[in-house]
Structure 1
C-alpha cells in the first residue's frame, strides 16, 4: 500500500525537485584548480585554435582521455559562452539521461517501482553529486554505461533492431568518454546476467553483428582524430616516448596503464580495501544499504544477478589496480542503486522498519555534518542568515520524518538530508573556498582591466586563471625567464625574478590553496591562512 502511494503521491517528485535545486545551483559553483579546469582548458584550445581534432594541454599534445567531454564542452561554450555553467551543463544533461536509463534498466530487471526508486537513489548518491560539481569524465561515463547496459539487455530479451543500434551508440559514447572501460563494463554486466539466466543462445543472434559494426561506425570520429594527431606523427614525444600509436593507446593502452600504474604512479596500490572503505562516504546515504543488499544477494542469489555480479567483479578488479582514485567507483553507482532498490522494494515490513531507523541515523549524522560545515568550518555570514538556514533545515527534516514509516520515510530522510548538505556546500562553503584559489581571484581582477596585455605563467600554472580570463597562457619552459609585462607566479618564481635583476613595478599577492585536496589545517578557520602558500601577479619593468 505504501509503495503504491509512493508512485501515485507527490513525495517522489518533491524529492526529485529538491535534487534538481541542488544540481542546478551546482552549475554555478566555480571550477576547482584541478582536473575540471584542466579539462575545461583543453576544450578552450579547440575554440582558440579552430583545431577540433588535436587534444592539447598547455601547449603539448595530450594523450590520456578521449574527445567526447572536450567536444561537448566546446560546443557548450559556443552556445553559452566560456563560463562555469557552459562547462558543467553537458555533464548534467548526461547525468539526467543516466538517471532515466537507471529507471529503465531497473524496470526491465524488476518492475516500475524498483526502477523509479533506483533512479532516485542514483541521483542522490554523494559522489554522483560531486561528479557534477568537480566535473571530470565520470558523470558522462556513468550515464553511457547504464544506458548501453539497458539497451544490450533489452536486445538480448527482445531482438529488436532499435536496441542493437542504441546499444552500439551507448558503447561508442562510453568509449569516446574514457576508452575501453566504456565497453567492458556493459558487455560484462549483460554477459553475467545471460549466464545467470542460462540464456547463452541469445548471443547467437545476428543482431550482435549489427552492434559490432554500428559501434565501429560510431567510434570512427574518435579513432580518426587519434590517427591524425599521433599515428601520422610518430616523431611526437609523449611522456618521454616516441613512435606512439594513438589508436592502439585508446583501444588498449589507456585502461592497461591505469590498471598497472604505468605513467600515473601507484596511488593506493597497496590498499586492497581502498574502494570498500571509500564506498562508505562515496555512496552516502545508501552505502550501508548497499553492503546489506550485496551480501544478501551473494548468499541467496535470487532474482537478477546483473547488478550483484558486475559490482562484485569490478570491485575485485579495481582493488588490484595499481592506480586508485575515489571517483573510479562512480561507474558502479547505477548498478548499486538498482541492487539496493530491488532489495528495498521486496523487503518485509520488519526489515523495512529496521532500515528506516538506520537511515534516520545516517540522516541525523549528515545534517549534523552540514551544520558543522556551515556554522564552524565556513560560517554562513550573519546571525540572522544562520538562523534562517537552521530553520529551513529543521522544516525540511520535520516534513521528512512525518512520512509514514517504511519506504517513503527511508527515501525522504535519506534524500532530504543529502540535499540539504549539498545545497549548503554549493551556496556557502564552496564559493567561499574558491576565494583561496588565487587563479580564480586574480582572473576576476584581471578581467576588470581595459586592455588585455601580454601575460605569462612562470614556475607555476593556474588552470582557473586561464579559464576565467578566457585565454590560454601556456607556462614558460623550465629555465626561461619571463619577457612579458605581466607574470603570474609563486614564491619561488618571485625569488628567481628578483635574483635575475628584473625590475618589478607592481606586485599583487593572494593566498593559494588546492581546494580539491582539503586538509585539516585548511578546514580549521584559525589555521586556514597557515595552510596556504602565496601566489603573485607581477607587473615587470619590461615593455
Structure 2
C-alpha cells in the first residue's frame, strides 16, 4: 500500500480536528442538538426525546441525540465529544464513496471522488457545525456503496448493510435517506433497462430491515405523540415541506439551493458544472441507454433530490448536502477524463475555473484574517503562506495534470479551512455569549452554578436569549425567569447569578435590587453574518449587550 496516498486525507482530518477542538458549538441548531443529547445522557430516556424536560422536540429523529448521549457519558460535555462520532462517520463516508466509485470507474477516479467529497466546503462546515445532515449524508453514502456491491456480487451481507444504513439515515433525518438512494438506483435501472431490478421482490426484505432499525424510534413516537408522531416522521416532516402541509415556510425561491451550491461545493464547483453537463450529454449521445459496466446512480441520486429539495417551501443551505458525495463522483469522473487527455481544450478552461475559485477563496481568507479578525498566530501565518506558495507551484503547467486539477484546489481547501477553523470561527464565537458565559460560569463561578439563571423578558416560546449553548456547557438545564416579580421572589430566597440582555439589565436596575455586574459582553447571532458585523469599525452597531449579574438581594 502506498501510504503517501493517505497524506491528503490525514491533512483533511487535521483540519476537521482543529475545528472539533477549537470551535465552540454554534447556536441555534447545533447547540440545541448537543443540549438534547446531554439531557438524554442525564435522564437515560433514549426512546422519548425531551428538550428542557418537556416532550417538545419532534422536528428531528434521534440518531444524533443517541450517539451524542453515549459519547457524553464517556467524555463529558466538550466541543470534541459532540463532534467525535460525526467525524468518524465522515471518514467512513469518504471510504464508502471511494469504494462505490471504484466499482464503476478507475482507481484514479475513485481516489479523486474521495478527495473531492472530503474537501468541499460543505464537509468542513458539517464537521464542526454538526447537525443531523452529517450523519444523514454519510449513512446514505454507505448505503449506496453497499447496494452497489450487492448488485455486483449478490452477497446478502451487502444487502443487509445497505438497508441498515438506509434505516440509520432515516433515524438521522427522515425519509430523505430513502429518496436519495431510491432516486439514484431507479435512474440507473431505467437507463440500463433493468426492469427486473426495479420490481425485485427482495426489496420487500429491505423494507423489513429498515423497519427493524426504525422500531425503537417508532415506539418512542407512539408513546409521546400517538399516531401524529408517526405521520409527522414518515410524511409531514419531509414531504410536507413540498406539499405545503408543513407550516414552516421561508419562501426561499426556486434557485436558493443552486445559489448556495456555488459556495458550499467550493473549490470544485467550476469543475462540477461542466462535469454534470458532460455526463448528461454522454447519456443523450447513447440514446438514454447504459450498459451494465456504467452507472447513473450518481447522476440520478444528485439531480432528482436536488430538484425536489429546491421546490420545498422551507429551505436552508445544508438541506442538499446529502447529495454532495454523488456530486463528488460526477466531478471526479470528469476530472479523471481531463487528466487522461490534458491536450483537449476543456482541460485549460477547467484549470482556469479552479484557479479562479482558488483566488476567490484566498482573497476571502485574506480579508477575514487581516481586516475582519486580524490573524496574529505566527504558526498559522507561516503554514498558510507555505501552502499558498505550494498551490501556485502546483498550478504550473509543467506539473502533472493530476497536480494541476486535483492537488492544487485540494490544498486551497485545506489552507483556507485551516485558517477558518483555527482562527476565524474561534474569533467569531467570542460574540456568541451563550457559549462564552456557559464555559465561564462552569469554570470560574462553579460554586454559584446551582443558583445560575437566565432572565429573559420575552414571552414563553420566544427567545431574546438562546439557552442551548448555556445548557450544554454548564451541563444543566438553566432555569429561565420571565418576569420581574418572579426574579424578585427568587432573589429574596437566595442570591442569584443572572445572565440577561439589555432589557433584563434595565429591569434589574429599576427593581431596586442590590447587584453587581460580574461581566459584560457583546452578542451577535453568529450564523447570520453581515458585512457591517465583519467590519470592525461598524461591528458595535450589529452587536447587542449581554450581562452576567450577581444579585445579592
| 109 and 475 in structure 1: CA distance in 2 versus 1, 3 angstrom threshold | farther
Greater shift in the superposed pair: 185-194 or 355-364: 355-364
Partner of 1:449: 445
Partner of 2:460: none
Partner of 2:28: 34
Partner of 2:370: 375
With the length of structure 1 as denominator, give the TM-score of the two structures: 0.90
Gaps of 5+ in 2: 287-293, 457-464
Distance in 1 (alpha carbons) for counterparts of 2:37 and 2:215: 20
Distance in 2 (alpha carbons) for counterparts of 1:306 and 1:71: 31
Distance in 1 (alpha carbons) for counterparts of 2:116 and 2:164: 25
The answer (yes or no) to whether the contact 2:452–2:498 under 8 Å persists in 1 is: yes
Which among 36, 47, 51 is matched to residue 53 of structure 1? Answer: 47
Partner of 1:18: 11
C-alpha deviations, 1:124-146, integer Å up to 9, x for none? 10011101111101111111111
What secondary structure, in the 3-state scheme, does the structure 2 residue paired with 1:380 have? coil
| 213 and 536 in structure 1: CA distance in 2 versus 1, 3 angstrom threshold | same
| 394 and 444 in structure 1: CA distance in 2 versus 1, 3 angstrom threshold | same
Which among 266, 270, 279 is matched to residue 249 of structure 2? Answer: 266
The answer (yes or no) to whether the contact 1:453–1:486 under 8 Å persists in 2 is: no
Greater shift in the superposed pair: 327-336 or 394-403: 394-403
**Shift of residue 479 of structure 1?**
7.9
C-alpha deviations, 1:260-281, integer Å up to 9, x for none? 5656532243x21111121110
Distance in 2 (alpha carbons) for counterparts of 1:356 and 1:70: 43
- How many residues of Structure 1 are paired with residues of Structure 2 in the alignment? 521
C-alpha deviations, 1:122-177, integer Å up to 9, x for none? 00100111011111011111111111122223333433211220111011100100
**Shift of residue 14 of structure 1?**
2.9
Distance in 2 (alpha carbons) for counterparts of 1:285 and 1:506: 46
**Shift of residue 404 of structure 1?**
2.1
Distance in 2 (alpha carbons) for counterparts of 1:376 and 1:9: 39
The answer (yes or no) to whether the contact 2:375–2:381 under 8 Å persists in 1 is: no
Partner of 1:275: 257
What secondary structure, in the 3-state scheme, does the structure 1 residue paired with 2:454 have? strand
**Shift of residue 491 of structure 1?**
1.2
With the length of structure 2 as denominator, give the TM-score of the two structures: 0.89
The answer (yes or no) to whether the contact 1:194–1:200 under 8 Å persists in 2 is: yes
C-alpha deviations, 1:283-322, integer Å up to 9, x for none? 0011111111112222221642222223221222122110
C-alpha deviations, 1:446-471, integer Å up to 9, x for none? 12125133122121233222211222
The answer (yes or no) to whether the contact 1:125–1:285 under 8 Å persists in 2 is: yes
C-alpha deviations, 1:456-498, integer Å up to 9, x for none? 2121233222211222214345787322512211112223334
What secondary structure, in the 3-state scheme, does the structure 1 residue paired with 2:238 have? helix
**Shift of residue 245 of structure 1?**
2.3
Partner of 1:237: none
Partner of 1:341: 332
**Shift of residue 368 of structure 1?**
2.3
Q: Is 1:287 the counterpart of 2:283 in the alignment?
A: no
Greater shift in the superposed pair: 463-472 or 355-364: 355-364
Distance in 1 (alpha carbons) for counterparts of 2:150 and 2:382: 52
Distance in 1 (alpha carbons) for counterparts of 2:179 and 2:348: 38
Distance in 2 (alpha carbons) for counterparts of 1:110 and 1:268: 40
**Shift of residue 358 of structure 1?**
2.5
Q: Is 1:245 the counterpart of 2:228 in the alignment?
A: yes
Greater shift in the superposed pair: 84-93 or 305-314: 305-314
Gaps of 5+ in 1: 1-6, 232-243
Distance in 2 (alpha carbons) for counterparts of 1:424 and 1:377: 13
Partner of 2:525: 514
Distance in 1 (alpha carbons) for counterparts of 2:485 and 2:129: 33
RMSD of Structure 2 on Structure 1 (CA) = 2.3
The answer (yes or no) to whether the contact 1:267–1:325 under 8 Å persists in 2 is: no
Distance in 2 (alpha carbons) for counterparts of 1:499 and 1:259: 49
The answer (yes or no) to whether the contact 1:352–1:407 under 8 Å persists in 2 is: no
C-alpha deviations, 1:27-58, integer Å up to 9, x for none? 11111122111100000111222322221223
